[in-house]
Amino acid sequence: MAVYNKIESRKAPSNSIGFFHWIRENLFSSPLNSALTILGIAILVLIIPPFIKWAIVDANFKGTTRAACTGDGACWVFVKMKLDMFLYGFYPEAEKWRVNLTYGLFFVVIASFRYLKGSMLKLSIAALYFIVAFFLIHGGFFGLTNIPTNKWGGLMLTIVISAVGIVCSFPIGIIFAFGRTSELPIIKSISVTYIEFIRGVPLITILFMSAVILPLFFPEGVNFNKLLRALIGITLFEAAYIAEIIRGGMQAIPKGQYEAADAIGLSYWQKMLLVILPQALKVAIPNLVGTFIALFQDTTLVLIIGLFDLLAMVQLTTSDSHWIGYETEGYVFVTIIFWVFCYAMSIYSKTLEKRFNTNLK
């Protein structure tokens, strides 16, 4: 009986494994690729070391005045001293805990959603949160001093505008999405006109309109403050975009769902709210997050109508005679904040997309 010895499998040739193989395959596989790699390395060398040198190595962190900034690098002392302005605007020092408490409560609410069941319960908690947040930040009730909106500013104002914009434009957007897909010709044409009009003009013209023309629309004595006017403009603007996204989601729902809802005798509103909308929202979530990122970025436009959001704070703080000439530090700091918020949201949207993709397959 023949005895067969097991032969050890040979090792892969040394040029097809390991570090050098990876480098050759991925960086230098052809002359063109080698050239591109060298170009890429050159770009990195040109950008990253000088930036690190400026932002960290040569930068000044210690001290409290302009005189402390002696090096060639960034003067982070400026950002440190003006940090309260960047984060809270002119919100009084003693009342800042109210803003912080609102931030904290937000995370408590989000955490509680993990353990709570039932969408009605969640919705009412969210609604309650917004009422509490309004009382906390605005004040004027329950012994809290009123902080007028012209004292709001910085990151806090940016967040307030985005949050109100998202929350208020959502229901309006849903109504217009229903309107646009409606079979009733007049309802449909009203919705189409509104959506296409808003989507055809830049946000800045809507903001100008709400800042300049809106007061003319109402009888004397009805006064809107600047922030409220900006919020109305942003909400009306955003609603049209949300309507289009939700309509896109609704079109992705198979016709059978509509027919099944009709067949079991649901009314129009039952059909839309119980069958179509929940599915449409699920499909639309990645795009909705995309719109929220756009809205968050668009809030910077309020600086043009004279509100002091996070971006406007750069111009305001560098016009302080003690700190003239530190625009670069201000813009870099604000850029990092905006970038972190937007990037986090886009990562979140990508994970949602993945989760829902597997669901559909």
Partner 1 sequence: MLAFLRDRKVRGYIFQFLSIVIVVAFLWYIGVNTAHNIQQRGIRTGFGFLSGTAGFAINDTPISYNEGDTYARVFLIGILNTLIVSFVSIVLATILGLIIGVLRLSKNWLVKKLAAAYVDIFRNIPILLQILFWYNVVLRSLPDPRGSIDFFGKIFINNRGFYIPRAAYNSTTFSVIISFFLVIVFLVFLNKWAKKRQELTGQEFPVLLTGIALFIVVPIIAFFIGGANFDFSYPHLNGFNFTGGKVFYPEFLALAFAITVYTATFIAEAVRSGIEAVDKGQKEAAASIGLTGYQSLKLVVLPQAVRIAIPPTINQYLNIVKNSSLATAIGYPGLVTIFAGTTLNQVGQAIEIISMTMAVFLTISLTISLVLNWLNHKMKIKER
Beta-bridged to residue 60, according to DSSP, are: 75
CB of 215 to partner 1, least distance (A): 8
Residue 254 DSSP class: -
Please tell me the distance from the alpha carbon of residue 295 to that of residue 311, in angstroms, as a whole number.
14
Instruction: Decide whether 25 or 84 has the Cβ nearer to partner 1.
Output: 25
Within the chain, residue ranges assigned H as helices are: 18-27, 31-52, 76-81, 83-88, 96-115, 119-138, 154-181, 185-200, 203-208, 214-217, 226-251, 255-263, 268-270, 277-298, 310-318, 327-360
Instruction: Decide whether 169 or 318 has the Cβ nearer to partner 1.
Output: 318
- CB under 8 Å to 178, separation ≥6 — which residues? 272
Cβ atoms of 231 and 302 closer than 8 Å:
no
Instruction: Decide whether 43 or 83 has the Cβ nearer to partner 1.
Output: 43
Instruction: Decide whether 121 or 213 has the Cβ nearer to partner 1.
Output: 213
Cβ atoms of 106 and 125 closer than 8 Å:
no
CB of 37 to partner 1, least distance (A): 5
CB of 298 to partner 1, least distance (A): 7
Instruction: Decide whether 44 or 110 has the Cβ nearer to partner 1.
Output: 44
Please tell me the distance from the alpha carbon of residue 340 to that of residue 297, in angstroms, as a whole number.
12
CB of 41 to partner 1, least distance (A): 7
CB of 202 to partner 1, least distance (A): 4
CB of 77 to partner 1, least distance (A): 18
* Contact set with partner 1 (CB under 8 A): 26-27, 29, 33, 36-37, 40-41, 43-44, 183-187, 190, 197, 199-205, 208-209, 212-213, 215-220, 293, 296-298, 300-301, 303-304, 311, 314-315, 327-328, 331, 334-335, 338-339, 342-343, 346
Instruction: Decide whether 58 or 327 has the Cβ nearer to partner 1.
Output: 327
Cβ atoms of 179 and 206 closer than 8 Å:
no
